[in-house]
């Protein structure tokens, strides 16, 4: 009987460790200055690391290349010249590790518009009825010593994340 209970506890804990983290899924990035939606994103885990790729952009077509980027970046997860990669479909957020459920850090984010790379943290902000009226993802890029800026993203569905485009 004890073996069965231990097995059930082990299976439950194993299942929880493979459960999706609340930061995973589809998100709309919001420009913190204008409040406009800038892109649809997919945030996902792979081999214990967190990644994020753009699925569509509000002001650019899906075939735009990351021409303003460097040819390579330390730790970038895709082989090839980054400056020749499409902005849509490339993992611009990469290498984050989980601190605890809903909080990841230690990786990087590249702004494909200007090619700058920043340290990156993402934190889920649950609805609290005050500052966060809906579940929100804080995506923070930093240059060091906590100096940086945050964007607050809205959860969405796959169809919406993939359907943005030039107006």
| 165 closest CA partner among 58, 13, 31 | 58
The architecture CATH gives domain 20-162:
Beta Barrel (2.40)
Hey, which bits of 87-158 come out as E strands? 91-100, 103-110, 117-125, 136-144, 147-156
114: its two tokens: 């200007």
Q: Return the percentage of the chain with pLDDT > 70, whole number.
A: 88
How much is the CA Rg of the chain, to the nearest whole Å?
Answer: 18
* Cα–Cα distance measured from residue 76 to residue 69, given in angstroms and rounded to the nearest whole number: 12
pLDDT digits (tens, 9 = 90+) for 95-136: 999 999 999 999 999 999 999 999 999 999 999 989 999 999
What is the average pLDDT across 84-90? 97
What is the average pLDDT across 73-77? 97
Confidence of residue 165 (pLDDT cuts 50, 70, 90): confident
User: How many CB atoms within 10 Å of residue 39?
Assistant: 24
Q: Identify the residue with better confidence: 46 or 10.
A: 46
For 2-36, letters b (16+ CB in 10 Å) and e give eeeeeeeeeeeeeeeeeeebebbbbbbbbeeeeee
Provide the pLDDT for residue 95.
Answer: 98
| 74 closest CA partner among 114, 104, 119, 41 | 119
Q: Is 3 helix (H, G, I), strand (E, B) or coil?
A: helix
156: its two tokens: 């969405």
Confidence of residue 2 (pLDDT cuts 50, 70, 90): low
């Amino acid at each position: 009987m004890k073996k069965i209970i231990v097995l059930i506890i082990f299976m439950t804990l194993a299942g929880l460790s493979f459960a999706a983290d609340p930061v995973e899924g589809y998100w709309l990035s919001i420009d913190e200055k204008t409040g406009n939606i800038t892109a649809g994103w997919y945030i996902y885990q792979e081999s214990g690391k967190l990644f994020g790729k753009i699925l569509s952009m509000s002001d650019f077509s899906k075939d735009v290349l990351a021409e303003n980027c460097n040819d390579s970046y330390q730790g970038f997860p895709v082989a090839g010249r980054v400056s020749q990669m499409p902005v849509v479909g490339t993992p611009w957020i990469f290498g984050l590790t989980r601190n605890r459920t809903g909080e990841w850090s230690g990786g990087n984010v590249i702004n494909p518009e200007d090619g700058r790379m920043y340290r990156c943290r993402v934190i889920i902000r649950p609805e609290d009825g005050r500052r966060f009226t809906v579940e929100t993802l804080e995506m923070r890029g930093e240059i060091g010593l906590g100096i940086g800026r945050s964007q607050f993203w809205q959860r969405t569905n796959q169809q919406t994340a993939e359907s943005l485009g030039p107006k």
